A and B are shown apart, each in its own frame.
Chain A
Amino acid sequence: MKFTIDREALLRPLQLIAGVVERRQTMPILSNACVRVSEDGGLTIAGTDLSMELVAHVDSVDVAVGGEITTSAHKLADIWRSLPEGAKISFETDGEQAVMRSGRSRFTLATLPVNDYPSGDQAAGTVEFTLTTEDACELIDRVSFAMAQQDVRYFLNGMLLEVTSEHVRSVSTDGHRLAQCTLDKGVEGAQRHQAIVPRKTVVELRRLLDGEEGEAQFSLSENQIRVARGAFSLTGKLIDGRFPDYERVIPRDPPLSLSGDKNTLNQALQRARILTNEKFPGVKLMIEGEQMTIVANNPEQEEAREEVPVAYEGDNMQLGFNVGYLQDVLRAVGSETIRISMAEPGSSALMEGEGDESALYVVMPMKI
């Protein structure tokens, strides 16, 4: 195998593949990326962690001898990143080694045969749809913070993607709060299809969607998600499990409602947070007329008190919340004004940006 390639042509593929491939491996071949070149000038590079696989195609490579090889994904990515911009790199195999030369640099890496490289099965998609990268990013960015991390209820460690003939929707929850983003761009004729995408796949998918605007083709099957974007495709296993019935926990038109300026509230919470208990960062919200007083205490009996104007008509009330949960929502909300509503003090709080129809958030309070 022998070819020459511009540094920039393979830089982004290698960076994405390095995200997928785990640094620590029990099977040496899983640390490797699989590189295939054919004499018509096509190069394919793939990386996997067995739960997902990322494949990139590069055209117009100057190939002298075709072939295929696997070698360390992270070392390749590190070499590519540290070579100067505009560098040309020649890559050739020499026995069981791969040799890269660029200018006055030379690297010799160990290789393993391609035969042993795990290749992902491609299941036929049952639902297929195309989103702009902007829409796809919105689905992820507005809900990903509420995914659970290493929860014993494994189906929470990911993001639900739901497709119907009316919408494409993302939902995440860790049992304390829930985030939902809905795009009114249904898939014609689609039955309600739900897929739970594992946390790591969500992160890598988001990286794949970065950069120039374009389109991404989604394909969901019973146990697999495949997303193709330009020369890249990401195929991942889905989490096998039933996502909680999220619609049940979203309050419908709760009567108690207050609204305020998002940034003012966020800044006040940020300051109050300094004096919360680190382990349980709870704040008390006291709403009296048109004023919300935020009170934070820590075990040292120190106190922070912030006053924020709000629009509210109703009896005085006291609420308790994890300040981090409130701030996560405020960061994800698109509009300037946040509306918080609930059925009664102490019940779940529905948080929405005013005029921002696509996302909603439900945050459970803390018992004061």
Chain B
Amino acid sequence: MNQQLLPFTAQEGRTFANYVVGGNGDLVDRLVRPDDGFAALWLWGPPASGKSHLAHAACHWQVGRGAKVAYVPLASTPEDPEVLHGLAGYDLVALDDLQHWLGRLELERALMGLYQGLVARGHRLLVVAQRPAAALGFALDDLGSRLRAASSWEVRELDDAGKGLVLADRARRRGLEVPPPVLDFWFARRERTLSRLLDDFERLDRAAWNEQRRLTVPLLKKVLDL
């Protein structure tokens, strides 16, 4: 029989406080800059580059200033124009994985309606996609031209040092430490995309709980089959 662990670490908040800025300093500055009236930002970058984290963090930051915000993960939201109904009343609307909703006229019309509603009220729109607006095909030309005019920002992937900081920070929040030699060993032998490294970390964290051990090279070897 295996003892189960209390689910303390189920979901950590994604805020600026636990975001490692790396090469995205200007973008973070832009996200926390107040706007007069309507503004649209388009964030793009490869998977696991931290786009959703930034969108969550921007929402969280606005909530802290009393704003009403909506974060809509379009990849996991029913493809129904009704989903966007009433969102124009929010001070900030973040649409994640926009590419999932492109190419279908009724969905793009709903996006267009939301866009116009936000413009009319002077509210903000934050779009997240894997590619820049110019590289995507729109079924509705009006929507395409407007979103291509949005302020476009490439989210830059962290380098290894930045990823090391992310892991060290997460470990610290869980009461663990990642000594530099352990990090070197880990990076030299595993795929270094952040999402894979964070998956690795969750397995290591669990093993550290179960076996009452620190993060060491022998623990990594055992847990990650190295």
The answer to whether A153 and B6 touch across the interface, beta carbons within 8 angstroms, is no
Complex interface bits, B1-24 against A, C-beta within 8 A gives 1, otherwise 0: 111111110100000000000000
CA distance in complex: A293, B151 (Å): 66
Q: Provided the pairs A152-B212, A368-B1 are in contact, do residues A176 and B173 lie with their beta carbons within 8 angstroms? A: no
- A368 and B4 CA atoms in complex are apart in Å by 10
Q: Is A173 located at the chain interface by the 8 A CB criterion?
A: yes
Flag B104-121 by CB within 8 Å of A: 1 or 0 each.
000000000000000000
Q: Could you tell me the distance between the alpha carbons of A218 and B5 in the complex, rounded to whole angstroms?
A: 33
Contacts of B173 in A (CB 8 A): 242
Does B68 interact with chain A (Cβ within 8 Å)? no
A173 to chain B, nearest CB (A): 7
Distance of B10 from chain A, by nearest CB (Å) = 7
B205 to chain A, nearest CB (A): 10
Let me know if B8 and A364 touch, CB within 8 A.
Answer: no
Chain B neighbourhood of A154, CB < 8 A: 175
The answer to whether B4 touches A152 (Cβ under 8 A) is: no
Q: How extensive is the interface on chain A, given as a class?
A: 20 to 34
Contact A245 B8 (CB under 8 A): yes
User: Which chain B residues lie closer than 8 Å to A242 at the CB level?
Assistant: 173
Interface residues on B, range: 10 to 19
Q: Contacts A282-B1, A366-B1, A367-B1 given; indicate if A152 touches B213 (C-beta within 8 A).
A: yes
- Kindly list chain B residues whose C-beta atoms are within 8 Å of the C-beta of A241: 175
- Asked if B1 and A175 sit within 8 Å, CB to CB, the answer is no
Given contacts A152-B175, A155-B175, contact A366 B8 (CB under 8 A): no
Question: What is the minimal beta-carbon distance from B182 to any residue of chain A, in angstroms?
Answer: 14
Known contacts A151-B212, A245-B8, A248-B10: A156-B3 contact under CB 8 Å: no
Residue of A nearest to B175 (CB): A153
Q: Is B212 a contact partner of A348 (Cβ separation < 8 A)?
A: no
Cα A289 to Cα B4 with chains together (Å): 26
CB distance from B219 to the nearest CB of A (A): 11
**A155 CA / B4 CA spacing, docked (Å):** 20
Determine if A178 is an interface residue (Cβ-Cβ < 8 Å): yes
Q: Does A177 make an interface contact (CB < 8 A)?
A: yes
The answer to the question of A322 belonging to the interface, with a C-beta cut-off of 8 Å to chain B, is yes
B40 to chain A minimum Cβ distance, whole angstroms, is 35
* Closest chain B residue to A320, Cβ basis: B1
- A280 at the B interface (CB under 8 A): yes
* Docked-complex contact B5 and A364, CB < 8 angstroms: yes
Answer whether residue B208 sits at the interface, using C-beta atoms and an 8 A cutoff. yes
- Residue B209 CB within 8 A of the other chain: yes
Q: Across the interface, do A348 and B1 meet the contact criterion of CB distance under 8 Å? A: no
Q: Mark B167-181, 1 if CB is under 8 A from A, else 0.
A: 000000111100000
**Residues B6 and A348 in contact, CB atoms below 8 Å apart:** yes
- Among B4, B5, B214, max chain A CB count under 10 A is at B4
What are 19 A-B pairs at a CB distance below 8 A?
A152-B212, A153-B174, A154-B175, A156-B175, A175-B209, A176-B4, A176-B5, A242-B173, A244-B6, A244-B8, A246-B8, A249-B6, A249-B7, A362-B6, A364-B4, A365-B4, A366-B3, A367-B2, A367-B4
| Given A280-B3, A366-B1; 7 other pairs, CB 8 A cutoff | A152-B175, A175-B6, A175-B209, A244-B6, A248-B7, A248-B10, A249-B8
Ranked nearest first, the 7 interchain pairs of A and B with the lowest CB-CB distance are A153-B175, A366-B1, A282-B1, A364-B4, A244-B8, A367-B2, A249-B6
Q: Which residues of A contact B (CB under 8 A)?
A: 151-156, 173, 175-178, 241-242, 244-246, 248-249, 280, 282, 320, 322, 348, 362, 364-368
Interface residues in chain B, defined as those with a beta carbon under 8 Å from any beta carbon in chain A: 1-8, 10, 173-176, 208-209, 212-214
